[in-house]
Structures are given as C-alpha cells and as structure tokens.
Amino acid sequence: MMLTKSVVVSRPAVRPVSTRRAVVVRASGVDLNKKVQEAVKEAEDACAKGTSADCAVAWDTVEELSAAVSHKKDAVKADSTLSDPLEAFCKDAPDADECRVYED
C-alpha cells in the first residue's frame, strides 16, 4: 500500500462586507454654514422619527460640520493672506508699488 501526500491549501479568511458608508463633505464659506443648518434639521427629524442610533449618527454629522466651520474660521484668522486681498497680492508680487514698505 502506497501512501500519498495530500496538499492542503489554506484560504484566507473572508471578512464580511460592511454596509456602512462614509460621507465626505467638502465645502466652504456660506455653503458649509448652510450644510450645518440642513444637518440640524435632518438630525431633528431623525430623532423625532428614527431610532436612537439614527439620531446619534445625525448629531455626529452636525458636530463634524460645526467643527469644520470652526477650523475654517481659525485658519482664516491665522493666515492674513486669506482675509486681506492686499496681503495675498503682495505675497505674489512683492516688488509692486502697492507693496512697498517705508521705514523711518
């Protein structure tokens, strides 16, 4: 009787596919404030009609959008070229007459 070797091929474990999706929102200025207001309305509707999990997810979205508005305001304050058009112009054209600095 002859013995044969059997070959065992291992298969990688298959992970279940998640049904959750991430939503990436990129907007600026007035559009972002408008999206926050819309998200608040959607969150209120979700809390009135849906489950507590739906409500929590909706308010997390509001929180993320509000944080984006806050970070944008901080960035504008930190970078004077975003708030002052003359600063932005002088950054690109430092030799222009409008950008000369006279010291006493």
Output the pTM of the full model.
0.49
Residue 23: inside a domain: no
Residue 50: inside a domain: yes
pLDDT on residue 60: 95
Q: What is the CA radius of gyration of the chain?
A: 28
- C-alpha distances in Å from residue 18, one per residue of 1, 13, 21, 22: 51, 15, 8, 11
Residue 3: inside a domain: no
Q: Give the domain extent around 68.
A: 30-98
Asked whether the beta carbons of 99 and 93 are under 8 A apart, the reply is: yes
DSSP-derived secondary structure for 51-99: -HHHHHHHHHHHHHHHHHHHHHHHHHHH-HHHH-HHHHHHHH-TTSGGG
Residue 103: inside a domain: no
Average pLDDT, the chain: 78
pLDDT on residue 29: 53
Q: Which residue did the predictor score with more confidence, 8 or 58?
A: 58
The number of domains in the chain is 1
73: confidence class by pLDDT, cuts 50, 70, 90 = confident
Residue 10: inside a domain: no
Q: Per residue in 5-50, pLDDT tens?
A: 666 556 555 555 555 555 555 545 568 889 999 999 999 999 998 8
